[in-house]
Amino acid sequence: MTLVLRGYCQFIRYVVRFIGRSVSYLLPVLAGIVAYEVFARYILDKPTIWGYDSSLFLFGYIAALGGAYAQQKEAHINVDIVHGKVSEKVRRLFDMTTAILAIGFLAVMTKMCFGMFLESMEFHYKTQSEWAPPMNHFWLMVTISAVIFIAQYSTELIQNIFWFVTGRELLGEHCDLSELSEQPFRVDSHQIDKPAFDKESPDGN
């Protein structure tokens, strides 16, 4: 059972990481479209009819599909005032509660967005702009993003439950140098109470 759970968590983490890193390549495309739209509007005085919708869709793709990867990297904004002051057991209870609530919300979101996708396919919904591109792909993307997010939260829930049952980490405690290089200023909430230097030593050593 442990091997199955570990394999599932590792597989989901790999998929989430792959998708998150892949959509990051859309950022230069988004920047290029915005820059060209500004140039065309204010320099050439010939604004495009596709610039606004294209940049809006791309931003939605990047934010939604990259959300699960940001969760995996703990890059979302957190308030650790309470979380960092309690014991590890209480912290994990907080994390489990958050994961359960998030999965419930995302499940409802998945159902609603998939319903909107089917409706947009049936009635051929389009944006209210001069270009008027179809909306069905956007609702499908949001649905897939919610499913990916649920999968990411499920791995965190499984890891915390495994720790409560066995007292061990499911994936082990290891330091990935590539992850550290991506978050050079990340502060571990477990260390917020530790002094930055020894006050009794003149040079801090």
The pLDDT assigned to 79 comes to 76
pLDDT at 164 over 60: yes
Position 132 in a domain: yes
Tell me the C-alpha distance between 29 and 23, whole Å: 11
Please work out, in degrees rounded to the nearest 5, the angle formed at the alpha carbon of residue 193 by the alpha carbons of 188 and 197. Answer: 95
pLDDT tens profile 12-55: 999 999 999 999 999 999 999 999 999 999 999 999 999 999 99
134 DSSP assignment: B
Tell me the C-alpha distance between 12 and 158, whole Å: 12
The pLDDT assigned to 76 comes to 81
The pLDDT assigned to 6 comes to 93
Q: What mean pLDDT is predicted for residues 54-83?
A: 90
Confidence of residue 64 (pLDDT cuts 50, 70, 90): very high
pLDDT tens profile 87-129: 889 999 999 999 999 999 999 999 999 999 999 999 999 999 8
The pLDDT assigned to 75 comes to 87
Position 198 in a domain: no
> Sign (positive/negative) of CA torsion 171, 177, 179, 184?
positive
Q: What mean pLDDT is predicted for residues 164-169?
A: 90
The pLDDT assigned to 52 comes to 93
Position 11 in a domain: yes
Position 81 in a domain: no
Position 190 in a domain: no
Confidence of residue 84 (pLDDT cuts 50, 70, 90): confident
Q: What mean pLDDT is predicted for residues 176-205?
A: 48
Query: For the chain, how many structural domains are there in total?
Result: 1
Position 156 in a domain: yes
Position 197 in a domain: no
Evaluate if pTM is beyond 0.85: no
Position 153 in a domain: yes
Full 3-state SS string of 147-198: HHHHHHHHHHHHHHHHHHHHCCCCCCCCCCHHHHHHCCCCCCHHHCCCCCCC
Q: Which domain holds residue 97?
A: 1-76+87-168
